[in-house]
Amino acid sequence: MNAESLLQQAQLVCQQKGARFTKVREQVFLLLANHHGAVGAYDLLAELKELEAAAKPATIYRALDFLSKQGFVHKIESINAFIMCHHFGECNHPVQLLICDQCGHVEEIQSNNFDLALRTMAETNGFTISHQIVEAHGSCKNCTNV
């Protein structure tokens, strides 16, 4: 899915929810959408500065915060980076990420079975999950065969 159609989809979601998809937020959204892999907040800020010279850390973190809340973007905790979600709309979906340590490629998986397994395991321990982080590091298809 290309950046433009992702943007349109996001605009639609915001319209339906009454969320304000402002200029900065759109700019950051597009920068993320045009990235193939994950990107750090300060790298993103550097890119944003080419469009808005006055941008500061708070600018990018606020935008990322908004985009995360809408479910457009996921934070990758283990590498302090952010990545565009390609299945947003079904908001708050559980996320499983496969992160290649060789090439940096990140694949987002959506396994409801897996989510259920985690929930069940938690319930066995009397624990109720509100948010889950599943990040697998290793070697992707391309990098393994090399």
The Cα angle at residue 109 between residues 62 and 32, in degrees rounded to 5: 30
Distance CA 114, CA 93 (A): 12
- Decide whether 30 or 100 has the Cβ nearer to its own copies: 100
- Residues within window 32-91 making contact with its own copies, judged by CB under 8 A: 77-78
Token digits of residue 61: 């973190």
Please report how close the Cβ of residue 118 comes to Zn ion at its closest, in angstroms: 16
- Residues within window 103-132 making contact with DNA, judged by CB under 7 A: none
Whole-angstrom CA distances from 33 to 29, 42, 62, 109 are 6, 16, 17, 18
Q: Is 137 in the site for DNA (CB under 7 A)?
A: no
Closest alpha carbon to 6 in 16, 26, 50, 69: 26
Q: Is 4 in the site for its own copies (CB under 8 A)?
A: no
Query: Choosing among Zn ion, DNA, its own copies, none, which partner's interface includes residue 40 (Cβ < 5 to 8 Å by kind)?
Result: DNA
The sign of the dihedral angle between the CA atoms of 4, 94, 69, 61 is negative
Which among 25-33, 49-57, 123-131, 136-144 is the span making contact with Zn ion, rule CB under 5 A?
136-144
Binding site for its own copies (CB under 8 A): 77-78, 96, 98, 100-101, 107, 109, 111, 113-114, 117-118, 121-122, 125-141, 144
